[in-house]
């Protein structure tokens, strides 16, 4: 585990909306913290569900402690711009520049500007060794690819000046597997699997970023023993054990078991398809039977994460 | 008797589906338009970023700015799933996948006073970025497309999917965003003729320009200045457009449907969304919850869990060990599903109460397969319309 966490100091967690990217981010952070690492989570999009998982208030630009060894902060392009100007001797006009809405115009004039500001800040956090592991909860879906491509795009577009320098620094960070890797998250369902395969190739071929294991989230665990999802068989088992089970209860038990088996079989099929199409190690995280993910659920997911990493 | 969701697709002219990413918005939009068509309406769905196989099924694998009508044989006949005899004759079904850039180009061409002005804007490097990358452009163009389709009057039901941003609300502000950009004081100064602006521009503006030039290079500034100059005289047209779109959004024939999954973050976003709509004077007519787990009876989860534990820790003789372990696993499994089903429903009902009003609640349970053909779309439609009538 400690090995895994020291492979790269920055892990960018990416995946399409609804696959549980933020949950995976939190579980990875806890896993690394258990191994004695100090972790900083960087959220780049507003309204993250991360703090509420830990019962913490909304994230701001300043770091907060989520739990022992895990800190988190929010990083907006505007704040990163002010930071950049201040550290580059333009403190006097930084506030006014941001307040005038100028960033919107500059960002529009130079596509990828916002992303480069955010990634540039991540780079300086990494260089300053503010944490052993920096986890970036990346923007959703296709935005993750443009997010990672922004630096290379800027190198083509901007020939001189500090932005070019910033872009070069970011490219050298994200293309160095010792320093940075992308962890893709998906569900074991048809569309998410197809999309994660496309995203993986886009990230590796076009952005030149190393890919870590793919996390397959929300996998239904099979039942611990083989059962027949059939009311008659259930009633027969009940008779042998001298236990009263009503017909209705037997039906419900059978339906729930059949549902689980059906979903499990579909997931196994998709996991195999993913394995065939994307030659990356996989880490499976179990489905949590609770729509609210808080510390107890995160602990279960972190256990699974740890087992998954050990198996790599 | 018509259910509230049937009422939506029967009598509204515009239905806007909103919600956070990954909750099944695109599918829901396609289902609503399809059911509208099956009920005899001339329906069109505007999709933003459909999964490839759904796009294939809808016959819109390529971005297109014009709606493509789908052959009724594909969705109204036996091939389309369901009972063909239930299809009301006369219905039509079209789909389009939004092309943000060409929608914007058309908008520019329409508002420009001369062809030359339009061409100057379309060729400008800054514009090319605006039309592709300005935060909210996709949302803005979705609304623009809606307005265009509505204005042309070729459809009597338009269902709009909204872009998959985490900020699902962006489209409400999107039309205003460009006008806000055009109103920016610094840029109004930039739009003055070259020499005049150098004389008039305050120290602040000059400092600003120098700083920006230092950071991103001076050619960027030249593009921006050229863009704002080329735009001269068109702001009023855009402002008017933004106002008309806003009017359409508050029209009583327009309905908002909030799509969510039972996951906490999606529901938090849905709450936030409903509040924002309420502030804007709009109400959410329906809350559609996708991917909800089935209930499997009404036994209490605690009782089932106790049964599972009792069996697990009993020490049966060898003959009974197999059946005992099987029963224990089955009880534990049913307890898991009953627990999540109860939690999900409690959360959703709390969400409905928070939203208040006469909002209609509809559940679409987990399906055993992906939705990417007309049979599956109709299957979701049947579930959607049935859960509503059952409540």
- Measure the N-to-C terminal CA separation of chain B; round to a whole number of Å: 13
Beta bridge partners, A92, equal none
pLDDT in the model for residue A282: 97
Cβ A102–B266 below 8 Å, yes or no? no
Q: Which of A14, A16, A17 to mutate to test the interface with B (most CBs of B within 10 A)?
A: A17
B140 at the A interface (CB within 8 A)? no
Domain presence at residue A181:
yes
pLDDT-derived band at A87 (thresholds 50, 70, 90) equals confident
| Residue pointed to by tokens 């592709």 | B132
Please report which helix (H) or strand (E) contains residue A219, including its range: strand A214-219
pLDDT-derived band at B141 (thresholds 50, 70, 90) equals confident
Mean of the pLDDT values across residues B193-205?
Answer: 52
Domain presence at residue A92:
yes
Residues 6+ apart with CB under 8 A from B136: B170, B171, B173, B174, B177
> Which residues on B lie below 8 Å from A24 (Cβ)?
none
> Which residues on A lie below 8 Å from B268 (Cβ)?
47, 49, 52
pLDDT in the model for residue B174: 66
Number of domain units in chain A: 1
A156 at the B interface (CB within 8 A)? no
Q: Residue A281 is encoded by which pair of tokens? A: 């190690």
Share of chain B above pLDDT 70, in %: 82
Question: Which of A77-91, A224-238, B129-143, B279-293 is most confident?
Answer: A224-238
Domain presence at residue A117:
yes
The mean pLDDT value of chain B amounts to 83
Nearest to A140 among B166, B334, B370 (CB): B166
Residue A60 sits in a domain whose CATH number is 3.40.50.300
| B13-45: pLDDT as tens digits | 999 998 887 888 889 999 999 999 999 999 999
What is the domain extent for residue A55? Answer: 2-221+278-311
Cβ B216–A106 below 8 Å, yes or no? yes
pLDDT-derived band at B171 (thresholds 50, 70, 90) equals low
Q: How far is B152 from chain A (nearest CA, A)?
A: 32
Q: How far is A307 from chain B (nearest CA, A)?
A: 23
Task: Name which residue leads in pLDDT, B181 or A91.
Answer: A91
- Looking at A15-112, list the stretches that DSSP marks H as alpha helix, in order from N- to C-terminal side: 21-34, 50-53, 77-87, 91-99, 102-109
Contact indicator for A230, A298 with CB cutoff of 8 Å: no
pLDDT in the model for residue B390: 39
Task: Name which residue leads in pLDDT, B134 or B52.
Answer: B52
Domain presence at residue A43:
yes
| B73-101: pLDDT as tens digits | 888 876 666 677 788 888 999 999 888 88
Domains of chain B, with CATH numbers? 4-22+37-84+101-295+350-390 (3.40.50.300)
Cβ A234–B330 below 8 Å, yes or no? yes
Domain presence at residue A25:
yes
Task: Name which residue leads in pLDDT, A219 or B136.
Answer: A219
Q: How far is B283 from chain A (nearest CA, A)?
A: 22
**ipTM of the assembly?**
0.91
Interhelix angle A102-109/B125-133, nearest 10 degrees: 100
Q: Which of residues 233-292 of A touch B (CB under 8 A)?
A: 234, 236-238, 240-241, 243, 245, 248-249, 251-257, 259-260, 262-263, 266, 289-292
Q: How far is B36 from chain A (nearest CA, A)?
A: 26
Nearest to B262 among A109, A226, A291 (CB): A291
Q: Is A42 helix (H, G, I), strand (E, B) or coil?
A: strand
Distance CA(A59)–CA(A65), nearest Å, equals 10
Domain presence at residue A242:
no
Q: How far is B122 from chain A (nearest CA, A)?
A: 14
Domain presence at residue A231:
no
Reference A154, options A207, A203, A193; nearest CA is: A207
pLDDT in the model for residue B276: 82
Furthest-apart CA atoms within chain A: distance in Å:
83
pTM of this structure: 0.89
pLDDT in the model for residue B389: 41
Distance CA(A231)–CA(A247), nearest Å, equals 7
A47 at the B interface (CB within 8 A)? yes
Cβ A255–B320 below 8 Å, yes or no? no
Query: Quick count: other Cβ atoms within 10 Å of Cβ B54?
Result: 21
Contact indicator for B164, A17 with CB cutoff of 8 Å: yes
| B49-61: pLDDT as tens digits | 777 777 877 877 7
pLDDT-derived band at B192 (thresholds 50, 70, 90) equals low
> Which residues on A lie below 8 Å from B275 (Cβ)?
none
Q: Which of residues 150-179 of B touch A (CB under 8 A)?
A: 164-167
DSSP E strand stretches across chain A: 10-14, 39-43, 64-67, 70-74, 133-137, 180-187, 214-219, 282-286
Q: How far is A210 from chain B (nearest CA, A)?
A: 26
Domain presence at residue A248:
no
| Residue pointed to by tokens 């997931």 | A267
Nearest to A256 among B22, B49, B337 (CB): B337
> Which residues on A lie below 8 Å from B166 (Cβ)?
17, 45-47, 139-140
Q: How many CB pairs under 8 A join A and B?
A: 207
Q: How far is B111 from chain A (nearest CA, A)?
A: 21
Rama region for A214: left / alpha / beta (φ>0; ψ in -120 to 50; rest)? beta
Cβ A49–B135 below 8 Å, yes or no? no
pLDDT reading at B317 higher than 60: yes
> Which residues on B lie below 8 Å from A86 (Cβ)?
none
């Amino acid at each position: 585990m400690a090995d895994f966490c020291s492979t790269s100091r920055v892990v960018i967690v990416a995946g399409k909306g609804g696959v549980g990217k933020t949950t995976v981010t939190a579980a990875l952070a806890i896993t690394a913290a258990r191994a004695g690492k100090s972790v900083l989570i960087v959220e780049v999009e507003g309204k993250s569900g991360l703090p509420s998982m830990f019962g913490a208030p909304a994230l701001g630009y300043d770091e907060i402690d989520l739990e022992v060894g895990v800190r988190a902060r929010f990083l907006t392009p505007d704040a990163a711009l002010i930071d950049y100007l201040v550290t580059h001797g333009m403190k006097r006009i930084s506030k006014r520049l941001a307040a005038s809405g100028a960033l919107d115009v500059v960002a529009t004039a130079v596509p990828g500007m916002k992303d480069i500001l955010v990634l540039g800040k991540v780079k300086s956090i990494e260089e300053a060794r503010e944490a052993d592991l920096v986890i970036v909860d990346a923007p959703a879906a296709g935005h993750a690819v443009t997010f990672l491509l922004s630096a290379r795009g800027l190198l083509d577009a901007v020939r001189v000046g500090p932005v070019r320098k910033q872009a070069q620094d970011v490219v050298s960070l994200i293309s160095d597997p010792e320093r940075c890797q992308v962890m893709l998250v998906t569900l074991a369902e048809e569309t998410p699997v197809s999309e994660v395969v496309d995203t993986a190739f886009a990230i590796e071929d076009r952005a030149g970023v190393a890919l870590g294991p793919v996390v397959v989230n929300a996998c239904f665990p099979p039942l611990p023993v083989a059962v027949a999802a059939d009311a008659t068989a259930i009633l027969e088992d009940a008779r042998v054990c001298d236990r009263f089970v009503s017909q209705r209860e037997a039906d419900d038990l059978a339906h729930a078991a059949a549902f689980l088996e059906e979903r499990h079989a579909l997931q196994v099929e998709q996991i195999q398809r993913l394995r065939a199409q994307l030659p990356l190690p996989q880490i499976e995280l179990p489905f949590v039977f609770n729509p609210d993910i808080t510390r107890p659920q995160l602990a279960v997911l972190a256990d699974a994460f740890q087992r998954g990493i050990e198996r790599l | 008797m018509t259910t509230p969701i049937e009422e939506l697709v029967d009598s509204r002219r515009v239905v806007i589906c909103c919600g956070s990413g990954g909750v099944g918005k695109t599918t829901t939009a396609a289902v609503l338009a399809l059911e509208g068509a099956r009920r005899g309406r001339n329906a069109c769905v505007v999709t933003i970023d459909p999964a490839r196989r759904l796009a294939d099924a809808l016959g819109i694998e390529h971005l297109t700015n014009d709606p493509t009508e789908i052959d009724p044989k594909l969705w109204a006949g036996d091939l389309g799933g369901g009972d063909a005899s239930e299809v009301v004759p006369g219905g039509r079904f079209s789909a389009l996948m939004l092309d943000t850039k060409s929608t914007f180009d058309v908008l520019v061409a329409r508002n420009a006073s001369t062809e030359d002005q339009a061409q100057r804007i379309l060729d400008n490097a800054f514009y090319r970025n605006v039309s592709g990358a300005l935060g909210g452009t996709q949302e803005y163009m979705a609304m623009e497309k809606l307005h265009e389709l509505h204005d042309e009057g070729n459809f009597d039901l338009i269902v709009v999917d909204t872009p998959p941003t985490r900020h699902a609300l962006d489209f409400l502000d999107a039309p205003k965003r460009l006008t806000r950009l055009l109103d920016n004081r610094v840029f109004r100064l930039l739009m003055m003729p070259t020499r005049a602006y150098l004389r008039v521009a305050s120290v602040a503006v000059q400092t600003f320009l120098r700083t920006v030039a230092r950071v991103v290079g001076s050619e960027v500034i030249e593009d921006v200045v050229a863009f704002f100059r080329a735009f001269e005289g068109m702001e009023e047209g855009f402002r008017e457009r933004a106002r008309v779109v806003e009017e359409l959004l508050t029209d009583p024939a327009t309905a908002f449907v909030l799509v969510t999954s039972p996951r906490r973050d999606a529901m938090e976003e849905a709450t936030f969304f409903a509040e924002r709509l309420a502030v804007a004077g709009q109400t959410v007519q329906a809350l559609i919850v996708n991917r909800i787990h089935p209930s499997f009876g009404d036994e209490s989860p605690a009782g089932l869990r106790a049964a599972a534990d009792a069996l697990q820790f009993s020490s049966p003789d060898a003959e009974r060990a197999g059946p005992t372990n099987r029963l224990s696993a089955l009880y534990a499994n049913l307890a898991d599903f009953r627990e999540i089903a109860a939690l999900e429903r409690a959360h959703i009902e709390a969400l409905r109460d928070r939203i208040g009003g006469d909002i209609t609640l509809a559940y679409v349970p987990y399906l055993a397969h992906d939705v990417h053909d007309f049979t599956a779309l109709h299957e979701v439609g049947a579930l959607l319309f049935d859960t509503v009538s059952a409540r």
